[in-house]
């Protein structure tokens, strides 16, 4: 009874330990995936925002880029620390497991040695025959025969258990060594990341000091930029509202551009909108390589905190001559040259519209059918500062949506 209870306790603890390790391994994989994503993002930031040292960027733009890089670097250090801490817990768990396995092996070997000695003392065929013949009846003889068979099987089972435990111990030792190597690599990588961060923070301090000398001038520049941005966003909104009014007029519905009820949808357009919605969070990026330098929504300016930015889409920094891709099947609603925004392409997906602003070249025209990832133009590169920025919007009717909720891993 005691042996059964001990075995049950051991099995429960083993299952709990295995589930704990599986949970930790799943978390470790998740952290590793995130760490690699952040490393790739820093590489893209360096390539897309900091490679052109010969270009003249404004101090504000340099500061915005540096702020973004520092935030990603801090996230990388944080995730790497989480990985190292989790590895420490896994290492401790494996060290405890190794201790338990060694203790189990000692007990198993000791018991097995006793069995071998006992078996040796009664190993002769004559002893076994006499053990059976000395039975008082046939039933007892049968039971003794079964006992001998079971004892033989138990001996063999114990031998196999010792082998299995020995292999498990060896594998756990290997895993422990691998974990220690991984932890050492993470610690070394974090030291380098900390050095880079310290260097970037020094650059940050220098730029802040320079900007603070002319803070009122920069505040005025930012406010002027925001006024211009709001004017362009309003123009984009009006273009979509006019398109909604035109679709309703064509369908025989009486609405105006000032107060449209929504796109008049055919059965085909309804299906397209449903497919677009079904792919929320899975749509491809509008450029093959890019980093989001300004996210959706109302937020304080990354440099001059007293100033607020209202962003109706996302700003994506990309490489020179980067091709812009439609994020889903649809129809080109409009191609418009907007003052201060260069060329802008509107693609309709049922009652949704994606907007691609600041294009230098356009490959499509109004009414064209486009497919997912089809090139529709190239992003404009500003010759004065070398920046190649795509402004990307998602709207339902004329109401803006957060693109990060629609684009895969944005």
The confidence score (pLDDT) of residue 45 equals 92
The verdict on 384 and 261 lying in the same domain is yes
Cα 334 → chain centroid = 34
Range of the domain at 383: 215-405
Q: Do 84 and 223 fall into the same domain?
A: no
- Shared domain check, 161 and 284: no
Measured torsion, CA atoms of residues 408, 350, 298, 73, in degrees rounded to the nearest 10: 10
Q: Which residues of the chain have pLDDT under 70?
A: 1-24, 52-56, 101, 105, 108, 111-135, 138, 140-142, 144-149, 151-156, 158-159, 161-162, 165, 169, 254-260
226 in the same domain as 202: no
pLDDT of residue 36: 94
Whether residue 238 lies inside any domain: the answer is yes
Taking only the tens place, the pLDDT of each residue in 245-269 is 999 988 888 665 555 678 999 999 9
Q: How far apart are CA 378 and CA 393, in angstroms?
A: 16
Whether residue 161 lies inside any domain: the answer is yes
CATH number at residue 358: 2.70.70.10
**What per-residue confidence (pLDDT) applies to 59?**
82
Residue 220 lies in a domain: yes
- 198 & 222 share domain: no
Give the list of residues 6+ apart from residue 295 with CB closer than 8 angstroms, or none.
Answer: 311, 314, 404
Residues 229 and 208 in one domain: no
**Residue 101 lies inside a defined structural domain of this protein:** yes
Same domain, 25 and 159: yes
Query: How high is the pLDDT of residue 212?
Result: 84
Tell me which of 170, 186, 213 is where a domain ends.
213
How far is residue 67's CA from residue 55's CA, in Å, rounded to a whole number?
A: 19
Number of domains making up the chain: 2
Q: Are residues 238 and 199 in the same domain?
A: no
Residues 184 and 273 in one domain: no
238 and 285 housed in the same domain: yes
Are 174 and 233 part of one and the same domain?
no
Does 70 reside within a domain? yes
Q: For residues 252 and 396, state if they share a domain.
A: yes
Taking the C-alpha atoms of residue 225 and residue 340, their distance in angstroms, rounded to an integer, is 10
pLDDT at 3: 46
Flag whether 410 is in a domain: no
For residues 333 and 104, give the distance between their C-alpha atoms in angstroms, rounded to a whole number.
73
Q: Is 120 exposed, middle or buried, given 0-12, 13-18 or 19+ CB atoms closer than 10 A?
A: exposed
Domain boundary among 213, 240, 257: 213
Question: Which has the closest alpha carbon to 286: 200, 346, 342, 235?
Answer: 346
Res 405: pLDDT: 97
Return the pLDDT at 130: 56
Identify whether 356 is part of a domain: yes
Query: Does some domain include residue 36?
Result: yes
The pLDDT of residue 202 is 94
Last residue in a domain, options 213, 236, 265:
213
CA proximity to 38, closest of 73, 68, 66, 67: 73
């Amino acid at each position: 009874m005691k042996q059964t209870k001990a075995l049950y306790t051991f099995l429960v603890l083993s299952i709990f330990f295995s589930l704990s390790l599986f949970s930790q391994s799943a978390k470790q994989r998740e952290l590793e995936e995130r760490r690699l994503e952040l490393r790739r993002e820093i590489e893209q930031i360096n390539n897309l925002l900091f490679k052109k040292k010969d270009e003249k960027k404004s101090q504000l733009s340099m500061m915005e880029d540096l702020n973004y890089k520092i935030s990603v670097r801090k996230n990388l250090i944080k995730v790497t620390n989480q990985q190292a801490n989790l590895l420490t817990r896994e290492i401790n768990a494996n060290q405890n497991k190794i201790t338990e396995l060694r203790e189990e092996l000692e007990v198993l070997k000791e018991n097995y040695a006793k069995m071998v000695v006992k078996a040796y003392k009664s190993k002769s065929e004559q002893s076994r025959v006499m053990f059976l013949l000395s039975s008082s009846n046939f039933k007892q003889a049968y039971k003794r025969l079964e006992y001998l068979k079971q004892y033989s099987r138990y001996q063999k089972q114990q031998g196999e258990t010792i082998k299995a435990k020995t292999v498990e111990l060896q594998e756990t030792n290997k895993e422990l060594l691998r974990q220690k190597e991984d932890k050492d690599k993470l610690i070394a990588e974090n030291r380098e990341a900390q050095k880079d961060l310290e260097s970037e923070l020094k650059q940050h301090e220098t730029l802040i000091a320079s900007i603070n000398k002319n803070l009122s001038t920069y505040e005025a520049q930012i406010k002027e930029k925001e006024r211009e941005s709001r004017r362009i966003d309003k123009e984009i909104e009006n273009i979509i509202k006019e398109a909604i009014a035109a679709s309703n007029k064509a369908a025989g519905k009486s609405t105006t551009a000032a107060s449209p009820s929504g796109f008049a949808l055919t059965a085909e357009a309804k299906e397209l909108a449903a497919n677009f919605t079904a792919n929320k969070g899975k749509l491809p990026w509008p450029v093959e390589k890019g980093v989001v330098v300004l996210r959706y929504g109302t937020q304080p300016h990354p440099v001059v905190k007293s100033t607020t930015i209202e962003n109706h889409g996302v700003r994506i920094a990309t490489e020179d001559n980067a091709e812009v891709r439609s994020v889903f099947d649809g129809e080109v609603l409009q191609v418009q040259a907007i003052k201060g925004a260069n060329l802008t392409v509107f693609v309709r997906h049922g009652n949704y519209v994606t907007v691609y602003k600041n294009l230098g070249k356009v490959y499509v025209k109004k009414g064209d059918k486009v497919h997912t990832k089809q090139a529709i133009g190239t992003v404009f590169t500003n010759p004065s500062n070398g920046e190649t920025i795509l402004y990307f919007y998602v709207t339902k009717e004329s109401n803006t949506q957060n693109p990060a909720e629609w684009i895969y891993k944005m």
